[in-house]
Amino acid sequence: MKIAIIHDNFAISGGGEKMMSILSTQLEKSGHYVEIFTYDIAEDTKKLINKNLKIKCLKEDNEKIGSFLKEKIFRKLRLKNFDFYIFSGHSSLSCARWHSPNLFYCNNLPWPAKQETNSSEFIKLNDSSLENFLVVAQKIKNKITKKEIPPLLAFYINSFREFFAFSQKSKKNFIKFLKSLKKESFFDDRQCIENIQKILVNSKNIKNKVRVRYGRDSIVVFPPVETENYYYNGHKNYWISLNRITPKKRIEIQLKAFSKMPDENLLIIGKKELDYYYQNLLKIKPSNVTFLGTVNELNLFQKLSYCKGLIFTAEDEDFGLAPVEAMASGKPVIAPNEGGCKETIINGKTGVLIDDINEDKLAEAIKKLGKEIEKNPLKYKKSCQTQAKNFDTKIFIEKIKQQIG
C-alpha cells in the first residue's frame, strides 16, 4: 500500500514526532510505501527521528508565517495516488475531508478540560508583551465553568504564543496575520473529526476525553518504544528528567526539590520551547541541576542506562513516552499519580506515583528511592524492563496494521 502520514509539525521535538518516525519506518519494513507531510521540521527533531524518512514540509518557501496558519496550509492539501491516510495532530484534520480511507491517531486534545498549572509564579506580567495577553486569556479560560469554550477564544489562545515570537520583527507578518482573521480561517476540530473514519488514541486517559469532546468511541493503541535499543548500565550519581521545556511539564517542581538535596544531581534533557519559562527556571536552578537541551538517541540511551531513575512531573500527561523509555533501561520512575502515568507505571514495582505532587513530596520520594537503589541496585531492573515490553514497537505496529487493513 501507499500510505500518507499527515502530521501537524515536526518542528516540535516530542513523543508524537518519535512515534510518527517509528510508524513510518516500521510500515516501510513491512513492505508499504510511506510519505510524511508536515508543516515544518526542526534541526532538533532530526536528532530524534530516522534520517531516511520521506518528509515533505508544507511551509511556504521559507517564509515564517507562524503555526497559527497551519490549518489554512493543511486545508489546501490535496494528495493523490495514496491508498490510505493516517492523520496525527489536530491541524492536519483540516484536510481530512479530501483524504480517505483514513484514521486519526489522537495523542491529546487541543483544549483539555484542566489547564491550571503551578507555573503561574514564573509568568511576570508586562503590559507591552503579547505573550502576557496569552497568560491573561488563559486565566480567564480557567474560570469558565462550561466544558467547551468559543472557538474564537481557543483560536487566540493557541495562536498568540508563537505569533508573538516573530510579529514584533515584521510588519508584513502582522498584516498577514490580520488578513487571516476571517470566519473561514477559524478551525473547529469537532467539525473536522466528522471526516475521520477511525480514531485511535494513545491511552485510556485520552479515550475518555475523546468520548466527552467528540461523542465517539476510540481504540487504545499505546505509543511505541523500541525497547531493544535501551539497556541497563548500573548507576551513576544523577537522575534524568526527559521532557520539553514547557509549563505543563512543571519543571519548577523538580528544581525546587533538588535545591533541597545538594548531594543529588539532575540532568534535564529536552528542547526549550518557551523562552520566558526557561529563563525563569534558570533564575531558581540550583547548581546540582543541568539543562542539556536535545540530545541524539545514542546519547539518550547512554544517559538513561547510567541514571538512578527518571523524574517526571508533567501535569495530567496524555501518555508519556519518557517513563516507558526509562523503564526499558531498567530504571524506576517517580511521577504524579495522574494522567497516562497511571497506565504505564506500577506503583511500588516500577517506580513511585505521588498524589498531589509538590517539591517536598518529590524530594522525599527521591531520597527514599535513592536509598533503596543504593542498598539493592537491581531492585527495579527486571520489573521495569518487563513492564516496558508491554509498550514495545512490535505490539504497536501490529495493531496499526490491523486497523489499516
> What CATH architecture does domain 227-391 belong to?
3-Layer(aba) Sandwich (3.40)
Q: Can you give the pLDDT at residue 44?
A: 82
Q: How large is the angle between the packed helices 393-404 and 15-29, nearest 10 degrees?
A: 70
Higher pLDDT, 140 or 196: 196
CB 6 within 8 A of CB 77: yes
Q: Is the pLDDT of residue 32 over 50?
A: yes
Using 50, 70 and 90 to split pLDDT, how confident is the model at 322?
very high
Chain Cα centroid distance, residue 65: 23
**What DSSP character marks residue 110?**
S
Q: Can you give the pLDDT at residue 177?
A: 52
Exposure of 143 by Cβ count < 10 A (0-12 exposed, 13-18 middle, 19+ buried)? exposed
Q: Is the pLDDT of residue 306 over 70?
A: yes
Closest CA to 223 of 108, 380, 382: 108
Q: Is the pLDDT of residue 169 over 90?
A: no
Question: 2-110+188-221 and 227-391: same fold?
Answer: yes
Q: Which helix (H) or strand (E) holds 368?
A: helix 359-375
Q: Is the pLDDT of residue 71 over 60?
A: yes
Q: What ranges make up the beta strands (E) of 206-342?
A: 219-220, 239-242, 266-269, 289-293, 310-311, 333-336
| 77-99 residue pLDDT tens | 999 999 999 999 988 999 999 99
Q: Can you give the pLDDT at residue 295?
A: 92
- pLDDT > 70 in the chain, percent: 79
Q: Can you give the pLDDT at residue 204?
A: 94
Using 50, 70 and 90 to split pLDDT, how confident is the model at 186?
low
Residues 6+ apart with CB under 8 A from 60: 73
Task: Give CA–CA dist 378/350, Å, rounded.
Answer: 12
Q: Is the pLDDT of residue 127 over 60?
A: no
| 351-402 residue pLDDT tens | 999 999 999 999 999 999 999 999 999 999 999 999 999 999 999 999 999 9
Q: Can you give the pLDDT at residue 13?
A: 77
Determine the average pLDDT of the residues in 99-120.
68
> What CATH architecture does domain 2-110+188-221 belong to?
3-Layer(aba) Sandwich (3.40)
Q: Is the pLDDT of residue 292 over 50?
A: yes
Using 50, 70 and 90 to split pLDDT, how confident is the model at 178?
low
Q: Which of 2-6, 164-168, 246-250 has the highest mean pLDDT?
A: 2-6
AA letter at 147: K
Domain ranges of the chain: 2-110+188-221, 113-186, 227-391
